[in-house]
Amino acid sequence: MKNDIIEKAEKVIANTYKRPSIVIEKGKGCKVWDTDGKSYIDFVAGVAVCSLGHAHPRVVKALCKQADILFHVSNLYYTVPQVELAAWLVENSFADKVFFCNSGAEANEAAIKLARKYFSDTCKKERFKIISMERSFHGRTMATLSATGQLKVKKGYDPILDGFDFVPFNDIDALANKIDDSTCAVLLEPIQGEGGVRCPAPDYLKKVRDLCDKTGSLLIFDEIQTGIGRTGKLFAYQHFGVEPDIMTLAKALGNGLPIGAMLAKDFVASAFVHGSHASTFGGTPVVTSAALEVLKVIFEEKILEHCERIGAYFMERLKWLKGRHNSIKELRGMGLMLAVELDAEGEKVVNECRERGFLVNCIQDKIIRFIPPLVISKEEIDALILCLDDIL
């Protein structure tokens, strides 16, 4: 069965992903099973998506209940779940308004468009440049790959869009030298995910905020990977006491269902008026019902507290591992967004982990990233650590 599916996939699915020879059939909690019945503890979680684990019963129930009532009517009409989700996000963040879409890339597209529209409306069309960070990742649409600070995602797509500059992450002097009267916004991930799980210096984001205020530029936080509890708080910016003007969300918001959101303060959100921007499927009743249940579970089942506690435990176990293996160069991360940088290629480690029943992934060639469901247990972490101890 497995080989038949893989052979068929090679014939009919675009060759944009490098996949191992397994076919995942089902998931429950922090585990998934392939078509051969082999189980894996999932430390990837659909790339930081399935934060409540697979098939969480409350999310499944909310999804099925709404699917039995109403799937879709487009954004030409109001729906109760969409309004309730937007209200929840506004009440629990810095923002005043929410725009729903289908993915993180779409959320960042909306943020880029909103920033430029804001300055166009205020008669400052010369302020169109976005400053992003080297190693950043903001998506694979033309605008978002143009905003991404990794050359590998831009290869073959020239000419990319004009108006994007880059500076090193965590280098406030470089940003100060780049920002000027043509800058409309600074776009950054509070913690770089795809770029290697790189955390900011304690005062870096505050200094970025101050620079934006001083120059009249907008500050956009891409919390597509860090948002919805991944770092131990609902949003990563809450660790640093710095509010953006615009924030983008996706991934864990739907716990597996496709949803993106752009949140903004009123003064900038008002630049979007009827017809400025749209999404046919953005914020459908089904996905917003599921997302609202995800957020309720996170608060009612104290997932944030668990993430902070278990994330600290995970890091302590990684420190123990580093003490035993010189091949580990550095440990990074916060909450359950952690990484081990090796002095060797990481793909071999990923493959051996998978053979032993653990799903992990490698980024930037030598960095093993751990982004498990936020409900991961000590026992599951211990099992992975022992596996890595044996492999390394």
Q: If phi over 0 gives left and psi between -120 and 50 gives alpha, with beta otherwise, what is residue 112?
A: alpha
- Whole-angstrom Cα distance, residue 20 to residue 366? 18
Query: Phi and psi of 219, rounded to 5°?
Result: -115, 120
Is 31 an annotated catalytic residue? no
Cβ–Cβ < 8 Å for 226, 191: yes
What SS3 class is residue 165? strand
Cβ–Cβ < 8 Å for 32, 256: no
Query: Phi and psi of 262, rounded to 5°?
Result: -115, 125
Is 222 an annotated catalytic residue? yes
For helices 303-324 and 378-391, angle between their N-to-C axes, nearest 10 degrees? 20
Catalytic residue selected from 43, 128, 222, 366: 222
Catalytic residue selected from 99, 119, 137, 164: 137
- Whole-angstrom Cα distance, residue 20 to residue 36? 14
- Whole-angstrom Cα distance, residue 53 to residue 64? 17
Tokens of 327: 């091949």
Catalytic residue selected from 117, 233, 251, 366: 251
Is 137 an annotated catalytic residue? yes
What SS3 class is residue 228? coil
Give the Cβ contact number of residue 49 at 10 Å.
Answer: 20
CB contact set of 259 (below 8 Å; sequence gap of 6+): 100, 101, 102, 250, 253, 282, 283, 287, 288, 291
Active site residue ranges: 137, 222, 251
